[in-house]
Amino acid sequence: METVELRQASKVSEDAATLFALRLQTRRLQMLNHIAKAIASDLDLERVVQTVTDAATEIAGAKFGAFFYNVTNAAGESYVLYSLSGASRESFEKMGLPRNTAVFAPTFSGTATIRSDDIRADPRYGQNAPHFGMPAGHLPVVSYLAVPVVSRSGEVLGGLFFGHDEAGVFTPESQELVESIASHAATAIDNARLIKAAREDIVTHQRAQESASWLAAIVESSDDAILSKDLNGVITSWNNGAERLFGYIRDEVIGKPVSILIPEDRQDEEPRILERIRRGERIEHYETIRRHKDGSLIDISLSVSPVRNAEGAIIGASKIARDITGRKRAEEQRSLLMREMNHRIKNLFTLATGVVTLSARTAETPAALAAAIRERLMALARTHDLILPQLAAADAGVAAATTLTALLKSILLPYQDKATERMRISGGDDIIVGARSLANLALLLHEFATNAAKYGALSVAEGQITIEIDRRGDEVELIWTERNGPAIAAAPETLGFGSRLERGVQSQLGARIERDWQADGLVIRFTAPYVALAS
């Protein structure tokens, strides 16, 4: 009877134990399923790792657990503590990070799970300096479980480590559950990392797009011509500044060779530029000439830089062209004025001598001579006073003008003789001379007067000059006639600086200058468009 009762009691105890084990296993599986769902839907890396560490510590029955992220230093010995459960972070900070010892190596290399009922008895334990075991102050570890966390690609992300101060705590079942959690964790960590990388890529892409938009806006708003071409010299982009400078719209030039902008006598420039670009050289401020759509030529300063693709290979060139026509013209004008200044300085003594000679012919006393010289030199100064303000006004962009008659009188005043009517001017009071044309026209007329004083009618006492001005339709005609001057055997073979000055004035004003070398004097016929004189 007692034996039957004992058997029945034993069976009840076994059934209860089995039921308890089943319930425990069911609870663990439910927890595992809950963890898998929770971490699968979470894309925050830090929360995923903490959730995994807490859940695995509870399921394994560990007193504390930790997840170490697999980051190695140059010596292959440094790992980053990522999350803790059941212990404070300070507990680990006192001991430093785990080293690549015999006990830790299988986990961080992803080769095996380590489960020990008493880690102190493991032959791999205590083999590494400087501690040869647990450091002083380490959390008490007897039962030990370490599971590698390995991604789908085979990368070892880190390891889950669990400890307990009693022996034999971790069972094969708890190991299996933790390994399952580690597998889910690896997938969740991979997903979180991918999402994080994707978000960073999106931010980087957005910033790149914003930067590209800013750059495009700068290029389009630039006053300079900015274009690009491939290594065959074919145009691939064309900004608004290029349209303004060269006259072509985008659709007219994209896909066309850049040589359409290059004058025939400069076609050899492009192959040399492309060769330098292929070598990776940058061309800085290269001054040259390019051709407008209408055929006119433009002075430009050109900069060319290689364009590289993402791999660093040169695929083309970007070009910035700046119109320097105005600067070139200003330089030419300055050069002309400097040559004129040099010419005028050389003529100063000749002019002064002429004034003295002219005055001496009519002066009866030294005092009268001095007064005549003084008056004529002051008249010459007033001529310059008339010209210089006009030049200053033109440089400042201010409208300023005088009449052709006033200009002539000012220029001829130093040679005027009160005793005789040596010079007569008729017409011209209604002919406006604008600020732009005043300087060159004054220099030209001054050249006429200077030559007359040195070689023509004003070089002798009997000489006379008659100037007739008439407007004929859209043109102004000025006839300069010298009489009673020195006999002229033949026209001079060269005219020196004056001829160069005349060519410049003719080009600027669209004027014509004709000379008739008659026996008793020179006749000059000057014709120019009125609109050019008045500008």
Tell me: do 432 and 521 sit in the same domain: yes
Q: How many whole angstroms separate alpha carbon 310 and alpha carbon 130?
A: 49
The answer on 317 and 373 residing in a single domain is no
pLDDT at 11 over 70: no
Residue whose C-alpha is closest to residue 298's, from 232, 248, 337: 248
Question: Is the same domain home to 335 and 316?
Answer: no
> Where does the pLDDT of residue 314 fall: very low under 50, low under 70, confident under 90, or very high at 90 and above?
very high
Which residues 6+ apart lie within 8 Å of 428 measured at CB? Answer: 403, 404, 405, 408, 467, 469, 478
Report if residue 18 sits inside a domain.
Answer: no
pLDDT of res. 259:
92
According to the model, what pLDDT value does residue 95 have? 43
The answer to whether residue 470 scores a pLDDT higher than 90 is yes
Average pLDDT, the chain: 78
Q: How confident is the model at residue 255 (pLDDT cuts 50, 70, 90)?
A: very high
Domain boundary among 303, 323, 343: 323
* Residue-wise pLDDT tens digits, 146-175: 999 888 888 888 888 898 989 988 988 888
Asked whether residue 425 carries a pLDDT value surpassing 70, the answer given is yes
Average pLDDT over residues 16-41: 63
Confidence label for 390 from pLDDT (cuts 50, 70 and 90): low
Report residue 378 CA to chain centroid gap: 56
Any domain includes 3: no
Residue 464 has pLDDT above 80, yes or no: yes
Q: Give me the pLDDT at residue 469, please.
A: 94
Does the predicted TM-score (pTM) go above 0.75? no
My answer on whether 68 and 48 are in the same domain is yes
Distance from C-alpha of 442 to C-alpha of 426, rounded to nearest angstrom = 18
- Helices 325-362 and 366-395 pack at an angle, to 10 degrees, of 170
Mean pLDDT of 27-33: 63
Q: How many domains does the chain have?
A: 3
Rounded to 10 degrees, what is the CA torsion of 309, 313, 316, 320?
80
Q: Percent of the chain at pLDDT above 90?
A: 18
- Considering the domain architecture, whether residues 236 and 269 belong to the same structural domain is answered as yes
Task: Tell me, yes or no, whether 78 lies in a domain.
Answer: yes
Q: Provide the pLDDT confidence category of residue 258 given band limits of 50, 70 and 90.
A: very high
Q: Ranked by mean pLDDT, which of 121-130, 245-254, 382-391 comes out on top?
A: 245-254
111: CATH: 3.30.450.40
Q: In this predicted structure, what is the pLDDT of residue 529? A: 92
- Cα–Cα distance for residue pair 49/324, rounded to 1 Å: 65
Q: By residue range, what is the domain housing residue 129? A: 23-196
In a domain, 403, yes or no: yes
Name the token pair of 54. Answer: 């807490």
If asked whether residues 423 and 294 sit together in one domain, one would say no
SS3 403: strand
Give the percent of the chain with pLDDT over 70: 69
Query: Could you tell me the sign of the dihedral formed by the alpha carbons of 30, 33, 36, 40, in that order?
Result: negative
Q: What is the arithmetic mean of pLDDT over 479-499?
A: 73
Confidence of residue 514 (pLDDT cuts 50, 70, 90): very high
pLDDT at res. 276: 93
The 10 Å CB-count burial string (b at 16+, else e) for 470-498 is eeeeebbebbbbbbebeebeeeeeeeebb
Encoded tokens for 534: 């008045």
Distance CA 387, CA 410 (A): 9
Residues 355 and 308 in one domain: no
Domain assignment present for residue 459? The answer is yes
Residue 278 sits in a domain whose CATH number is 3.30.450.20
Following DSSP, what letter does each residue of 471-533 receive, concatenated?
EETTEEEEEEEEES-S--SS--S--THHHHHHHHHHHHHT-EEEEEEETTEEEEEEEEEHHHH
> Could you tell me the sign of the dihedral formed by the alpha carbons of 380, 383, 385, 387, in that order?
negative
The CATH code of the domain that includes 483 is: 3.30.565.10
| Domain co-membership, 353 together with 264 | no
CA end-to-end span of the chain, whole Å? 140
Residue 416's pLDDT is 75
340-351: pLDDT as tens digits: 666 656 655 665
Based on the fold, state whether residues 342 and 304 are members of the same structural domain: no
What Rg do the C-alpha atoms of the chain give, in angstroms? 50
Pick from 298, 323, 348: which residue ends a domain? 323
Q: Give the mean model confidence (pLDDT) for residues 507-530.
A: 89
Which stretch of DSSP H or E encloses residue 436? helix 435-454
- On whether both 109 and 46 belong to a single domain, the answer is yes
Mean pLDDT of 312-339: 82
DSSP SS3 for 309? coil
Considering the domain boundaries, does residue 1 fall inside one?
Answer: no
Residue 400 lies in a domain: yes
Average confidence (pLDDT) over 209-236:
81
* In a shared domain, residues 177 and 249: no
Looking at 282, 306, 323, which one is the last position of a domain?
Answer: 323
β-sheet bridge partners, residue 163: 64, 144
Distances (CA, A) of 265 to 256, 261, 271, 289, 292: 19, 12, 14, 10, 15
DSSP state of 135: P
Residue 217 within any structural domain of the chain: no
**pLDDT of 335 above 70:** yes
Asked if 343 and 232 sit in the same domain, the reply is: no
Looking at residues 294-315, what average pLDDT do you find?
Answer: 90
At residue 294 the predicted structure's pLDDT band, cuts being 50, 70 and 90, is very high
